[in-house]
Structure 1
């Protein structure tokens, strides 16, 4: 089973553990020997998912927008996690020559083309910018790709009063 991830980057600190636990529970139903997680390894939901896949005994595929993604888009605070996950990935691939909004859209499309299920760490709020989590969910559903929304009770994003569980 190939599972992709979309989700919020700006998770409140207590939410990280809630999401980690929910992802581990969701992944437990799959045979680890047949499990591949596909992630761009972004901070937040993507990185939590990638680690959960590895912890479950699955394989990780890092699908990056471009070779310069690490140096131009990954925050200094996230670099150690990004580098560790990249090192543990069984495959790292890029979809464009340089990071751009189009490269991010192309990476998202490539992920959706290569998976059988999408996990979405999503608070249910429409995207405030093009290419956000809600847009990825809409694109997956338009392809008739199954989507599992993960938003544990009590989860919230930074700066939010706390969106409800779906």
Structure 2
């Protein structure tokens, strides 16, 4: 099973814990280790990638732009570097700037590689082009199954 992730960044610590627990539960229920596909950003992307590796799955990284890492919070760089080095495959898109179009193109590539999308999503509209709601809609338009993950008690901002 190849699962792509999309989801919110900058989650409060309590929500990160709830999401991590739910990801662990869902991955434990999988009949075999999964291949996780992630852009490795802080928040949902990294939580999913870490959970996949903890469950002895494989990781495919998609890097939206050559300047992508620089757009992530500095405190996430060590985690990002670790996850990127743990990836079995790395797909690098030809964008330089880490902006909305690059992010949506990266998500579109993930969807073509995946059998399913897991979305850590509060169900609200995207705050900008390429946000989680846009990725969920693209997956649904492509006929890809979508598993929405937003545990009770989760919050954003």
TM-score bin (small chain): over 0.9
Equivalent in the alignment of 2:85: 87
Unaligned 5+ segments in structure 2 are none
Between Structure 1 and Structure 2, which shows a larger proportion of strand residues? Answer: 2
1:139 aligns with 2:138: yes
What SS does structure 2 have at the residue aligned with 1:127?
coil
Listed as ranges, the gaps of 5+ residues in structure 1 are 159-166
Question: Alpha-carbon deviations, 1:37-80, whole Å to 9, x = none?
Answer: 0000001000000000000110011111123322x312211101
Matched, 1:103 2:102: yes
Please give the secondary structure, in 2, of the residue aligned with 1:38: strand
Q: Report the equivalent of 1:8.
A: 8
Q: Distance in 2 between matches of 1:124 and 1:103?
A: 23
**Which residue number in structure 1 is paired with residue 27 of structure 2?**
27
**Cα drift, residue 113 of structure 1:** 0.7
Q: Matched residue pairs, number?
A: 155
d(CA) in 1 for partners of 2:65, 2:24: 29
The superposition leaves residues 95-133 of structure 1 with CA deviations (integer Å, 9 ceiling, x where unpaired) of 214134322221111001110000000111111211111
Moved over 2 A (4+): 99-102
* Aligned residues: CA RMSD: 1.1
Scaled by the length of structure 2, what TM-score is found?
A: 0.94
- 2:65 corresponding residue in structure 1: 66
Query: Structure 1: how far apart are the matches of 2:66 and 2:131?
Result: 21
